[in-house]
Amino acid sequence: MKGRLLQIKFNGEQFAEAMKTKASRIADVIASSLNAQMYLLSGYIVEKHLSGPRPSILGRVTGKLAASIRVNEATLDGNKITASVDGAGGPAWYGRIHEYGGSYFVAMRAISAKTIALRSLAKMNFATRSYSMTFPERSFMRSSLAENADKITGAVKDAINGEINKP
């Protein structure tokens, strides 16, 4: 689940002046603070949104979805520093369905032992039946970011201000 969901901007002379003299150190502070906040966010997602109780919050059945939550540490690309938390990949693909909800077509094929035996003898193909299922949106990624956005931006701004105010 990719997308820019949080952006921090600074304006002001003090910040502009500090960037002239401390740019690389401020970039390191931002990256370090973002990394710390992303690890906290990933823990929050697993603890608050992937540990039940069901049905309003996703419960843990296999643990695959919780295990798919991972931090992509901060990287610097030009004047952008990016860090993120990803999830619902690989064997936890179904997390996207829970995150966004929606209606999906599902193919169903009922096969009994007798059907399998007859099929192998007659070398026949059996038709499948599909139907639509509607899943409610039970966001765990976007909602966690929304719940923590002020905390994350505040922590990053505090880290930057701490560096700017150092002699």
pLDDT in tens, 22-34: 888 999 999 999 9
- CB neighbours (10 Å) of residue 54? 10
Among 1, 36, 35, CA closest to 143: 1
What is the average pLDDT score of the chain? Answer: 84
Residue 63 lies in a domain: yes
- Pairing mode of beta strands 102-108, 80-86: unpaired
Would you state the structure tokens that stand for residue 160, as one six-digit string? 């930057």
Examine the domain organization and report whether 80 and 51 are in the same domain.
Answer: yes
46 and 123 within one domain: no
- Structural domain containing residue 128: 102-135
Three-class secondary structure of residue 109 per DSSP: coil
Q: Are 8 and 157 in contact (CB under 8 A)?
A: yes
What angle is formed at CA 91 by the lines to CA 87 and CA 94, rounded to 5 degrees?
Answer: 65
pLDDT at 122: 56
Q: What is the mean pLDDT of residues 56-64?
A: 84
Q: What is the mean pLDDT of residues 27-49?
A: 96
State whether 126 and 150 are in the same domain.
Answer: no
- Please give the structure tokens belonging to residue 104: 């999906």
| Number of domains into which the chain is organized | 2
Q: Do the domain assignments include residue 1?
A: no
Report the predicted TM-score, pTM, of the whole model to 2 decimal places: 0.78
